[in-house]
């Protein structure tokens, strides 16, 4: 069932989104060669819990063991932070996180370059961000879920990349995953109609190679089947009467 959020619920989610955006900015600032993904997870959890009433949404969700998903290079999503996974120069790492505040969630992700990466990798990150922006621009009242997916797909495939089809964005609110599902492909004017008060996590997952995926033996980490690089960006968006409102905005400065 799709839920329409009250003004109070939206503002609580926006407060969670602000904490989350600051968390991601802080984690990205620590994502350097020689740093383990477990260290990034500790940075995130400590910062989230420093805000009264806030907690990491991911920790314990479906028994996930950490506060972040940290997915490196060909890993698409759901990578488990580990002391043994140490970032290297030239890596890219998807950092996915959620914050719960007063029983309401926000969800966001970014993919960071570690040290120096080539122009081809920078282009993958840039196009994935552009795909997210295109999807968000379609998140307006009267449009449909298919308009969002079609916009994401058009940008990603137009640049020569592929979109992951088995994993989707989602509604979000009192539950972390709510209806509707938001695929990163689709046809305009198909799927549920968007209404004022809906809250959506839109999250393109874009592969440099083919779209097929597989899940590793840890039962969490999803990787590209062909070993190609993958990028992942995500925002939580509210459908408002005058257009989409991003409640996980990238902060102007990195929090201390």
Distance CA 102, CA 52 (A): 10
What secondary structure, in 3-state letters, does the chain show?
Answer: CCCCCCHHHHHHHHHHHHHHHHHHHHHHHHCCCCCEHHHHHHHHHHHHHCCCCEEECCCCHHHCCCCEEEEECCEEECCCCCCCCECCCCCEEEEEEEEEECCEEEEEEEEEECCCCCHHHHHHHHHHHHHHHHHHHCCCCCCEHHHHHHHHHHHHHHCCCEECCCCCEEECCCCCCEEEEECCCCCCCCCCECCCCCEEEECCEEECCCCCEEECCCCCCEEECCCCCEEECEEEEEEECCEEEECCCCCCCCCC
The whole-number pLDDT of residue 8 equals 98
- Percent of the chain scoring above 90 in pLDDT: 97
CB-CB contact of 16 with 106 (8 Å): yes
- Percent of the chain scoring above 70 in pLDDT: 98
> How big is the CA angle at 150 (ends 149 and 154), to the nearest 5 degrees?
120
Asked if residue 252 has pLDDT above 70, the reply is no
Asked if residue 104 has pLDDT above 70, the reply is yes
Kindly state whether residue 179 falls inside one of the protein's structural domains.
yes
- Find the CATH number of the domain harbouring 94: 3.90.230.10
φ/ψ of residue 98, rounded to 5 = -135, 150
Farthest CA pair distance, the chain: 48
Average per-residue pLDDT in the chain? 97
Distance CA 205, CA 224 (A): 11
The whole-number pLDDT of residue 251 equals 81
Distance CA 190, CA 126 (A): 27
Tokens found for residue 43: 């940075």
123-152 pLDDT per residue, tens: 999 999 999 999 999 999 999 999 999 999
Kindly state whether residue 68 falls inside one of the protein's structural domains.
yes
The whole-number pLDDT of residue 105 equals 98
pLDDT grade, residue 250 (50/70/90)?
Answer: confident
Asked if residue 256 has pLDDT above 90, the reply is no
2-60 pLDDT per residue, tens: 999 999 999 999 999 999 999 999 999 999 999 999 999 999 999 999 999 999 999 99
CB-CB contact of 92 with 112 (8 Å): yes
Kindly state whether residue 2 falls inside one of the protein's structural domains.
no
The whole-number pLDDT of residue 253 equals 61
Asked if residue 255 has pLDDT above 80, the reply is no
Tokens found for residue 80: 């488990």
Q: Domain range holding 69?
A: 7-246
If one compares 65 and 256, the residue with the highest pLDDT of the two is 65
Kindly state whether residue 1 falls inside one of the protein's structural domains.
no
Kindly state whether residue 253 falls inside one of the protein's structural domains.
no
What is the mean pLDDT of the segment spanning 228-240?
98
Beta bridge partners of 86: 36
The whole-number pLDDT of residue 147 equals 98
Looking at the 3D structure of the chain, how many domains does it have?
A: 1
Kindly state whether residue 254 falls inside one of the protein's structural domains.
no
Distance CA 48, CA 59 (A): 12
Distance CA 48, CA 136 (A): 26
């Amino acid at each position: 069932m799709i839920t329409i959020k009250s003004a109070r619920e939206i503002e609580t989610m926006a407060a969670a989104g602000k904490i989350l955006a600051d968390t991601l900015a802080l984690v990205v600032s620590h994502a350097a060669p020689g740093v383990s993904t477990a260290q990034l997870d500790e940075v995130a959890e400590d910062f989230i819990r420093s805000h009264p009433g806030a907690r990491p949404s991911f920790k314990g969700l479906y028994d996930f063991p950490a506060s972040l998903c940290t997915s490196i290079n060909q890993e698409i999503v759901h990578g488990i932070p580990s002391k043994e996974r140490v970032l290297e120069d030239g890596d890219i790492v998807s950092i996915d996180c959620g914050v719960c505040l007063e029983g309401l969630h926000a969800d966001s992700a970014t993919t960071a370059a570690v040290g120096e990466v080539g122009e081809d990798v920078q282009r993958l990150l840039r196009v994935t961000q552009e795909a997210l922006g295109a999807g968000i621009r379609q998140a307006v009242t009267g449009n449909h879920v298919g308009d969002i997916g079609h916009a994401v797909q058009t940008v990603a495939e137009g640049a020569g990349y592929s979109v992951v089809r088995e994993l989707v964005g989602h509604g979000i609110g009192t539950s972390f995953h709510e209806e509707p599902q938001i695929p990163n492909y689709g046809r305009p004017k198909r799927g549920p109609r968007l209404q004022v008060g809906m809250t959506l996590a839109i999250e393109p997952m874009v592969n440099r190679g083919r779209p097929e995926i597989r899940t590793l033996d840890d039962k969490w980490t999803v990787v590209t089947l062909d070993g190609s690089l993958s990028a992942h960006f995500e925002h939580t968006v509210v459908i408002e009467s005058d257009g989409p409102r991003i409640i996980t905005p990238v902060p102007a400065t990195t929090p201390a």
